[in-house]
Structure 1
Amino acid sequence: MSADHDTHPRVVAVSRDGAHRFSKPVVDEVVLVAGLGIEGDAHAGVTVQHRSRVARDPSQPNLRQVHLIHAELFDDVAEAGFQVGPGQMGENITTRGVDLLGLPTGTLLHLGADARVRITGLRNPCQQINEFEPGLLRAVLGRADDGSIERKGGVMSVVLAGGVVRPGDTIRVELPTGELQPLGPV
């Protein structure tokens, strides 16, 4: 974790795009809509919106309504020479102070005053990352000690409770009850 690991968990930036592009422009606020995602974002919907997934089966539930990335990832890739900022890797919400990748499946994140999302799994980084910045894909994928692939490109979630989310909003983490399940790609 970065040097400011003792900060309170918070939203650093919010992004949305009505078109299917890799990067999303940073905006002043986003409106989360329960069961759909972010108002005005191309990935909002009850069923899958990612083009490759729609092509395979358009009736699949959309487990990728809101994409969150930890700003600490930008710090890490900067050490490898990459300059990446909020929204540039396609995320909707950039966080700081939350170990997103270490949370179990089903974790609830309370964002600001009203919004709440449930984490469904890990983003599976794809070749588009290298098209954005050559070599960046290698920086957001790693190998664990057991040889398994580590996906560092953030987490995906679904919206349980709507609300407005802005930079500076607090984040409260609520772990699921019962046996905790590690995140897998969605």
Structure 2
Amino acid sequence: MVRVVSVAISEKKGMKKTPVQEAVLVEGFGIEGDAHGGKWHRQVSLLAEESINKMKAMGLDVSFGSFAENISTEGLELNKLPIGTLLKLGEDVLLSVSQIGKECHTRCAIYHQAGDCVMPKEGIFAYVLRGGTIKSGDSIEILDGLTAAVMTVSDKGSKGERIDTAGPKIQVLLAELGICTVETTTVPDDIEDIQNVLKDWINSGHDLIVTTGGTGLSKRDVTPEATLPLIEKQVPGIMEAVRYHTGKITDRAYLTRGMAGVAKDSLIINLPGSEKAVEESLEVISKFLVHGLDTLKGKAKDCGRK
């Protein structure tokens, strides 16, 4: 059975959490009364009971909340879930997985005691998309939702000479919208390489395909040229909105040549290559992206204004 086995909170960060009988999750925030709640991507933390039991088997005196996790689960390999996976807890609560594991900058007491810790490797974090009350024993269900594939276009990135931060940022921002990233890749700035991946993803039927990089004016920037022949319907308003709004931040935004359009059942969007640029771009697009995808899938009731 896949279920919640414990819910825990703490009033301060950096300390173990205390199990409670039930907790109220607040949309866009986290757990009411918990120090880790806030307008960020790690609103709620989850760790499997199976992971906690590993540490117990090492002789550690640990229990629910010892690893500062909010929700302990049973029957689910949390760290195998894609970013953006939708989890329904109990009757009402809806979470979207936003991060798998974490980097520990300082070693906690558990690490010093055992020489290892499961939370950085096997714990996950999530946004609260829909709030409600949860308690031990509540069921957990993985829901079907919108899917995405994210491609980073970079000569240096494809050779391992540059660390990609834009692609992972896109995954996190899409998760905030409840969109699950099921495939990612990095390719060089080459039309054939870009198109080969795009064709595969289009045929796979991903709802959304986002590229980052290769939209500028240099000779190697060819992402729009690779995308255009595959598009059946252009959706110029998407990037027009991005250029208009981000152009208020920097006039260099007007030099990006990214485009958007539909190919079969997929919406393709070309974004610039920097982390800051994709964050600013998706802030604009997020206002209408889900409605556009629902329209493409035939789920939207009405395209008119409310």
Q: TM-score, normalised by structure 2?
A: 0.46
Q: Among all aligned residue pairs of Structure 1 and Structure 2, give the percentage whose two residues are the same amino acid.
A: 36
- State the Cα distance separating 1:21 from its structure 2 match: 3.5
Q: 1:82 to 1:120 in 2, by over 3 A?
A: same
- State the Cα distance separating 1:125 from its structure 2 match: 5.0
Highest Rg: 1 or 2? Answer: 2
- State the Cα distance separating 1:64 from its structure 2 match: 0.4
Q: Please give the alpha-carbon distance, in whole angstroms, between the structure 2 residues aligned to 1:175 and 1:139.
A: 32
Equivalent in the alignment of 1:36: 29
Q: Please give the alpha-carbon distance, in whole angstroms, between the structure 2 residues aligned to 1:181 and 1:105.
A: 10
Equivalent in the alignment of 2:118: 140
Q: 1:136 to 1:117 in 2, by over 3 A?
A: farther
- State the Cα distance separating 1:135 from its structure 2 match: 4.0
Say whether 1:26 aligns with 2:4. no
Q: Deviations over 1:108-163 (max 9, x none)?
A: 1100110011001123152665324524452438xxxxxxxxx4241000100000
Where do 1:18-167 residues align within 5 Å? 18-46=11-39, 62-124=40-102, 126=104, 130-132=108-110, 134-136=112-114, 138-140=116-118, 151-167=120-136
- State the Cα distance separating 1:75 from its structure 2 match: 1.7
Q: Please give the alpha-carbon distance, in whole angstroms, between the structure 2 residues aligned to 1:128 and 1:181.
A: 32
Q: Is the 8 A contact 1:89 1:129 kept in 2?
A: no
Equivalent in the alignment of 1:173: 142
- Structure (1/2) with the larger helix percentage: 2
What is the DSSP-based 3-state SS (H/G/I as helix, E as strand, rest coil) of the residue aligned with 2:60?
coil
Unaligned runs of 5+ in 1: 1-7, 47-61, 142-150
Equivalent in the alignment of 1:144: none
